[in-house]
Structure 1
Amino acid sequence: MPRWFNTAGPCNPDHHYMLPAMRRLPEVRRLVEQQGYFVVHAPRQVGKTTALLSFARELTSEGRYVAALVSMEAGAGFPQDTGAAEAAILSSWRLATRAQLPPNSQPPEFPEAPPGNRVATALAAWSEATDKPLVTFLDEVDALRDGVLVSVLRQLRDGHRNRPEHFPSAMALIGLRDVRDYKVSSDDGDRLATSSPFNIKVRSLTLRDFTEDEVTELYSQHTTDTGQRFEPDALALAFELTQGQPWLVNALAKVAVEELVPELSQPIRREDIERARAILIYRQETHLDSLAARLREPRIRAILEPMLAGQLLGDVPEDDRRFAVDLGLLRRSASGTLEVANPIYREILVRSLASGTRDTLPSIQPSWLKPDGRLDVEQLRDAFLAFWRQHGEPLLATAPYHEVAPHLVLMAFLHRVVNGGGTIEREYAIGRGRMDLCVRHGPDTLAIEIKVWRDRESDPLTEGLEQLDGYLQGLGLDEGWLMLFDRRSNQPSIAERTRAEQARTPSGRRVTVIRA
């Protein structure tokens, strides 16, 4: 499992909490015993490397195998030079095995071999030098590219027939993606599309996220160790926000116990988890930043843009949909529909897409605040109308996703509104035809439903009022906003058509309809 937050107080600062390493990969032991060659793929920061490193040490300590986890990443710096890539890989293996294996299980000196055969020759020599079956877990295989990747996969395939005396008895390729998605050219070029030249794999496994019970179990280790407890509402919210994504589960708790509530006599409450969430999103640390960087990739945009707009996906290849799930960006709901993996990712993705627009926004005077700091919704409406009439047209061009440009400009504006004093919660999904926003500022809550009026469609007002009715009911609110963005061809300018009007939902709730 990945490293968890360091304990506070007098405890060992290097201590970290873990769940049983292979609980989320129960099939691996059976595959090893069956001399299987298989793939383990899962998003970054979910514990693949830590789990399989721990399992390799467990196998070695049991005495039946010599097992090690070694990385292929060192070869990534030489995409066009197979020999140099192999030399770098084998050098990194030597360092890794020195730390993992006892002296009598260390690999021998790797024999000289021509480029394109050095990895296979090293694995053969290592297998022949051990008196027990060799098990190798090859991490970061998908860091390799082009001819180097194909060469390595062919060497593994060809050596497979010589196991267990002359090649590893069992092997796992570990990476972000399944073999079919390994790249054979740089950037966003072609992929292998099939498992060849590693067509010897018997299974492709993925590492699931934590369950709600496992999040509770992990957090309770901190309570046992320090006495600081997590209140039930805090535990429930931690799972709701992360959906068990291990990096988020860890990071959320780390911020809560180390920065927000360092006093161990004080419990972690729901509001502490809320504050920790806001801090993580604001910092957008490496894991979240690398996730957001994927949004410009055409394969990801083809899925996310209609999802944000509430439209149907259309003819998106199955490989691309699976790729987005493998990245951890999306998941499949219980009904099988694609959705963003968790609420924190939902926030990160939209904030990232709106960031360029947000940085382009002109200075906006906060006329929407009352003297006591509360939100004045009528003033906020007027401020948005004035802003949209003046700046809407040029700002739409700054949005990276054309289909949801109005949504992103609106959210950039709302980020200025909350500006550290509140939050924006978002709901969106394929085929719903809308996006829901919940703006929270102190004790005030504003629910906003966004609809887009496109060519060859009827006025979405009636449908929007019905949908907003259900959204307001769920939030326990009596009024809200319905934003209708008119994207039809040949319409008057934004300055001319932007206006506000009043309406009622089917159950009588008050609605401010903003046509823009």
Structure 2
Amino acid sequence: MAHWFNTAGPCVPSDHYMIPASARLPEVSGLVAQKGYFVVHAPRQTGKTTTLVALAQELTAGGWYAALMTSCEPGRAWGDDVGAATRAILARIRDRANVDLPPELRPPPWPEAPDGGLLARALQTWSQACPRPVVLFLDEIDALEGRTLVSVLGQLRAGAGDRPAHFPASVALCGLRDLRDYKTAAGGNANRLGGPSPFNIIVESLRLGNFTLDEVRDLYGQHTADTGQMFTPEAVELAFELTGGQPWLVNALANEIVRKMAVPASAAVTADHVEEAKKRLIQARATHLDSLVDKLYDPRVRAIIEPMIAGLAPATRPNPDDLQYVRDLGLLAPDAPVRPANPIYNEVIVRVLTENVFDYVAEVPGPRAHVLPDGRMDFATATSPAGRAITLLRG
């Protein structure tokens, strides 16, 4: 499911507007039935965690599996200390199981084992004791790097041959990255996916996409059914156009209009309201947008984003893995040509990259400085670095 209106505290008037989880990742149930090990990747705040939690609940409620969504985030702090990181991850698995699973499906006490075999021994013990096949969604797998990531993936690969009686029947690695970038993070060669690699058990890589226009209509329509407040067709279409269906942005626009701008329920939400909400979000640069800004300082990201925004070809051809990495972060549209993921991100990126441009420009041209007396464009000044930056800022 994907909740909305929940970007800044309790929802008004309801926090139960949603898209069914099975509609967002319809392939998961089939992969689980096939005992598949697979990757689910998506940019942050696209509803990935919420969707996978709901899928785990649905699988368990169906009576066939003991399915659990857990996080590898506790292992981050321990770096290359494989034993400490693994114990932190296992503690989180137990905590989540105690909350999300009935007593008969919860794991028994974890057995002792050498640091490099802790995870495999624990999952083997749970799978043998559980009356149903175990299904495990490992969220925030990106939190692990180096030796710890290699160890976790290696143990999953080593145990996979014993599934489902002696090891989880199905495992999903969930995070920002696609399969190739996990190899890079683990210190491996992204071009070699065969051999004894811990990655050769992965049968599929799924990307959780943005909302479609129909899904945005559905979500906003649920608000209408609940409150009577209409979103005009033009408002819904503009919201989709500005956000590209990015779930956090779709939610944030609605939240801004209904809660912060306090458009009364008796008034229809119009395209003008959506446009105003967009401006307010960009100016406020909410947490989600700030997290994107942080990524712009990554050299891999900047080398692709800066020439794109300036309308120039990159100085060198980007590494395909770097391009895919920036797409996986959600900054770029997932398909060709290379372009910002949506108009809101585009404006935020431009503002950030041109933030201090005037500190280095002696004379700032006026609004029509690039227009000749006869009305033609003066391309010599308009295409200078300062001219491009100023045009981007104003346009």
Q: Same fold (TM over 0.5)?
A: yes
**Structure 1 residues 361, 205: closer, same or farther in 2, change over 3 A?**
same
- Which whole-Å deviations, capped at 9, do the CAs of 1:371-398 have from their partners, x for residues lacking one? xxxxxxx9744799xxxxxxxxxxxxxx
After TM superposition, the structure 1 = structure 2 runs for residues 85-484 of structure 1, keeping only pairs within 5 Å, are 85-182=85-182, 192-195=190-193, 196-313=197-314, 314-332=316-334, 336-357=336-357, 380-381=367-368, 406-411=387-392, 414=394, 437=395
For residue 52 of structure 1, report the CA deviation from its aligned partner.
1.2
Structure number with greater Rg is: 1
Partner of 1:487: none
Contact conserved, 1:136 with 1:170, CA < 8 A, in 2?
yes
5+ residue gaps, structure 2: 372-383
Equivalent-residue separation in structure 1 for 2:189 and 2:231 (angstroms): 45
More helix by share: 2
Specify the SS of the correspondent of 1:210.
Answer: coil
Q: Which moved more, 1:290-299 or 1:338-347?
A: 290-299
**Structure 1 residues 383, 312: closer, same or farther in 2, change over 3 A?**
closer
Equivalent-residue separation in structure 2 for 1:405 and 1:102 (angstroms): 63
Aligned AA (2:337): T
Contact conserved, 2:3 with 2:19, CA < 8 A, in 1?
no
Contact conserved, 1:124 with 1:167, CA < 8 A, in 2?
yes
For residue 170 of structure 1, report the CA deviation from its aligned partner.
0.8
Equivalent-residue separation in structure 2 for 1:185 and 1:243 (angstroms): 29
For residue 12 of structure 1, report the CA deviation from its aligned partner.
7.5
For residue 16 of structure 1, report the CA deviation from its aligned partner.
2.9
Partner of 1:420: none
Bigger relative contact order (CA 8 A; separation at least 6):
2
Aligned AA (2:57): R
More strand by share: 1
Specify the SS of the correspondent of 2:107.
Answer: coil
**Structure 1 residues 330, 68: closer, same or farther in 2, change over 3 A?**
same
TM-score for the superposition, normalised by structure 2:
0.88
Specify the SS of the correspondent of 2:115.
Answer: coil
- Which whole-Å deviations, capped at 9, do the CAs of 1:116-150 have from their partners, x for residues lacking one? 11111111111111111111111111110110010
Q: Please tell me the root mean square deviation across aligned C-alpha atoms, in Å.
A: 2.8
Equivalent-residue separation in structure 2 for 1:84 and 1:405 (angstroms): 52
For residue 114 of structure 1, report the CA deviation from its aligned partner.
1.3
> How many residues align structurally?
378
**Structure 1 residues 406, 82: closer, same or farther in 2, change over 3 A?**
farther
**Structure 1 residues 327, 193: closer, same or farther in 2, change over 3 A?**
farther
Equivalent-residue separation in structure 1 for 2:146 and 2:86 (angstroms): 14
- Which whole-Å deviations, capped at 9, do the CAs of 1:431-480 have from their partners, x for residues lacking one? xxxxxx3xxxxxxxxxxxxxxxxxxxxxxxxxxxxxxxxxxxxxxxxxxx
TM-score for the superposition, normalised by structure 1:
0.68
**Structure 1 residues 233, 349: closer, same or farther in 2, change over 3 A?**
same
Contact conserved, 1:147 with 1:184, CA < 8 A, in 2?
no
Contact conserved, 1:305 with 1:404, CA < 8 A, in 2?
no
**Structure 1 residues 37, 326: closer, same or farther in 2, change over 3 A?**
same
Equivalent-residue separation in structure 1 for 2:136 and 2:358 (angstroms): 48
5+ residue gaps, structure 1: 365-377, 385-402, 415-436, 438-516
For residue 24 of structure 1, report the CA deviation from its aligned partner.
2.1
